[in-house]
Structure 1
Amino acid sequence: MRRYIAFITILISSWTAQAADGTSPTFDLSGDISLLSHYVENGLSQSDKSPALQGAFWFNFGSQFRLGVWGSNTNFENSDDHFNLRLLGDIKVSFSQNTNLIISYAQSQYYNGGDRNGNIIGLRLNMFDYRIMYDSFSNWEGTDENSKRFAFGKFFNVFNGWKWDNEVGYNTPNIDEINPYFDARTGLGTKWGVIFFEGALTGTSESSQFNGAGDLFFILSASTEL
């Protein structure tokens, strides 16, 4: 929580500096909601193969800074954590029209148990249709140990209005019993009206060490902006 407060302080300071330069920041709200047949994050199941409803809401301080909240139902074996709420903040640094860096922080809280509470610090470099990512997890999968993830992704515009999105990540949990592993995801989707529909495949390279949570999964999802 202290890191989240510090992040907010940086955002407010940056906004104040923007106002001091004579540039009036603009404020607006944005958000999205998604329905998934199965919630999988970085190759690992978060809902025990059950459907999940997710939503995110953002308060935008101009085009560079925003604060938000994200939530999803969850389901884990032998755990009382059935809902994940994340307090979010990120800073966007633009280098050109098609290249930018996003620095993000998330304070992740689980209810009702709280065994998986922690924070996530991330960096994401977007270059045209490519993205390079780094994430640091303070309490990876409720183990009280940290983990790092390095990832590369790219999306392609295919057919007529279809989007093919691909991502591969390399994970290094700081746990003797867990080997470093790759996760991969490929999804094909299109927008019908205001709803984006997607079918995706996801899995890990070391599925045997996750007791079924890192198997190959097929996921259907529908999402829309609010």
Structure 2
Amino acid sequence: MRRYIAFTIILLSTLGALTSKASTSPTFDLSGDVSLLSHYVEYGLSQSDHSPALQGSFWFNFGSQFRLGVWGSNTNYEHGDDHFNLRLNADIKVDFSPNTNLAIGYSESQFYNGGDHNGNILSLHLHLWKSRIMYDALSNWEASKERSARFAFGNTMDVFGNWKWDNEVGYNTPEVDSINPYFDARTGLGRKWGVIFFEGALTGTSESSQFDGAGDYFFILSAKTEL
């Protein structure tokens, strides 16, 4: 929690420097979303043991650049008692142009009831039009108590009129002797009907044999709506 507060203060100070020359006062608003997934997979690895997951996020936006929020999801691990993940989030967005920006984020990730997966995540995400280049640093990869870094590239394209085709490939480097670095990949096709975005996605990893089934190919159905 102290790391989260310290990072928040740093981000607020950075925001103040970036906006000190602004002639208008920042606007404050709330945002959020709720998602229902047939299976929760993150970085190619199952986080709900093939079970459905309900996820939600809530953000308080300090203008267009800085925000604080929470995110939560149920989880399920074959050998553990971590059944719910709550993340305290802070991020700041630096705009370079109307179509390019850098998002710097920090998450303090807490699990209940066991706490074996507790840790933090530092992220740097560069958005270039409809493409994104990402770096994520995890302090406790898959409850190993060891660090891991992920480098990834993603792109979203408009297809068939109103459909969105989203693709992402990541390279993961866990600092665990028994685990080899691996690629994860995700491709999803979705469309918005009314206020709900529906998507079908396929995920997988390049070294599935070392994850005891957690890194296999998975097909995921999801529905998401903004609050």
Q: Give the residue type in structure 2 aligned to 1:142.
A: A
The secondary structure found in structure 1 opposite 2:115 is coil
1:138-217 aligned at under 5 Å gives the runs: 138-217=139-218
Deviation of the 1:12 alpha carbon: 3.1
Shift of 1:6: 1.4
TM-score, with structure 1 as normaliser: 0.97
| C-alpha distance in 1 between matches for 2:91 and 2:118 | 20
| Count of residue pairs the alignment pairs up | 226
Distance 2:101 2:122 in 1: 17
TM-superposition CA deviations, 1:178-199 (whole Å, max 9, x none): 0000000000000000000000
SS of 2:56's equivalent? strand
Unaligned residue ranges in structure 2 (runs of 5+): none
Distance in 1 (CA, whole Å) between partners of 2:134 and 2:41 is 18
The C-alpha deviation readout for 1:151-182, integer Å capped at 9, x for no partner, is 00001100020000000000000011000000
Q: Which runs of 5+ in 1 are unaligned?
A: none
Identity of aligned residues (%): 75
The SS at the match of 1:173 is coil
2:51 aligned partner: 50
**Secondary structure in structure 1 of the residue aligned to 2:190:** strand
Distance 1:16 1:203 in 2: 42
Equivalent pair of 1:15/1:61 in contact (CA under 8 Å): no
CA root-mean-square deviation? 1.2
Which letter maps to 2:5? I
Contact kept? 2:15, 2:65, Cα under 8 Å: no
Is 1:85 matched up with 2:47?
A: no
Q: Which residue of 1 aligns with 2:2?
A: 2
Q: Counterpart of 1:92 in structure 2: which amino acid?
A: K
Counterpart residue identity of residue 48, structure 2: S
User: Residue 107 of structure 1 aligns with which residue?
Assistant: 108
TM-score (norm 2): 0.97
Letter in 1 for 2:71: W
Q: Which amino acid aligns with 2:42?
A: E
Cross-structure match for 1:13: 13
Question: CA contact under 8 A between 1:32 and 1:225: conserved in structure 2?
Answer: yes
Q: Is 1:117 aligned to residue 142 of structure 2?
A: no
Q: CA deviation at 1:23?
A: 3.0
